[in-house]
Amino acid sequence: MKIYIDGNYYGEEEAKISVFDHGLLYGDGVFEGIRCYGGGVYKLPEHIARLYDSARAILLDVGMSQEAMIEATVATVRENGLQDGYIRLLVTRGAGGLGLNPYLCEKASVIIIASKIQLYAEEKYRDGLTMATCATRRPAPAALSPSVKSLNYLNNVMAKVEAINAGADEGVMLNEQGYVAECTGDNIFVIKNGVVSTPPVSAGALPGITRDAIFEIGEAMGKPVREATLTRYELYTADECFLTGTAAEVIPGVRLDGRPIGDGQPGPLTREFMKLFKDSTISCATPVYT
């Protein structure tokens, strides 16, 4: 594997950052998870735009244009000979002092890893995920906007620990008002009487790239997706449920807090969304090999 760091490629053993990097010391940086399918990078401009929005929100100067970042991402996939895989793109604040002051970091660092990922076992896409509600809440917008995809993921990590300790595959996270925000690493959708709903970004949901794709697919299906304030009651009483994310793609959720969702099996509309999402991945890709 060849890893891109600040314009150069390094082997897995040689790829290193400074112990004084504020990304390591404080989680001070932003990232994107990106997929490539069939030799193309899925919705790459959208991912890069979101990365730069996150960087702007935390006053982080990436140090290169969006066009250059797109080129570097495609080149890293090509360098690793990937057809289908997962890209982790990180921008850290860079090396600085041991104090919090980010202005002591002279230059941001850009790291691009192109490899493989399997977030859930194959049978989970067939049979569905079990979920548990987490006590750990999504940060309030007054603390840090949930739209910022920062390197500080401890909140999500602790929620994931809760879910695992509860014997579940995934955890549902609520906001401070008790409304459903998202899962530990995925957006969540429910279907009731044919109506597809997902929590609004204002409830604490990350504006996911795959989430946006579901809105597009729903419109094309004649099943427009609506944003709606959801409680656990709406999840418990839903006919179907599915989760979306770059690594997870589209995957059914079939049980929450010991309660089956619908009949406890992936539903027909969920299956249709899964299929249409797969079909869309090639048409929305930036070619790597030309």
Catalytic machinery residues: 149
Measured between alpha carbons, how far is 36 from 283 in angstroms, rounded to an integer?
Answer: 12
| The two three-digit tokens of residue 55, written as one number | 């960087």
Residue 205, judged by CB atoms within 10 A of its CB (0-12, 13-18, 19+), counts as buried
- Return the exposure string of 134-169: e unless at least 16 CB atoms fall within 10 Å of the residue's CB, then b: bebbbbeeeeebbbbbbbbeebbeebbebbeeeebb
Query: What is the sign, positive or negative, of the torsion defined by CA atoms of 280, 281, 284, 288?
Result: negative
Structure tokens at 142: 């007054």
Quickly tell me which residue has 């049978």 as its tokens.
Answer: 123
The residue type of 257 is D
DSSP state of 164: H
Give burial (CB, 10 Å; 0-12/13-18/19+) of 67. Answer: exposed
Positive or negative CA dihedral for 31, 66, 87, 45? Answer: positive
Cβ pair 172, 193 in contact under 8 A = no
Q: Please check whether residue 62 is in contact with residue 108, taking contact to mean a CB–CB distance below 8 angstroms.
A: yes
* Contact present, 77 and 288 (Cβ < 8 Å): yes
CA nearest neighbour of 82 among 34, 37, 15? 37
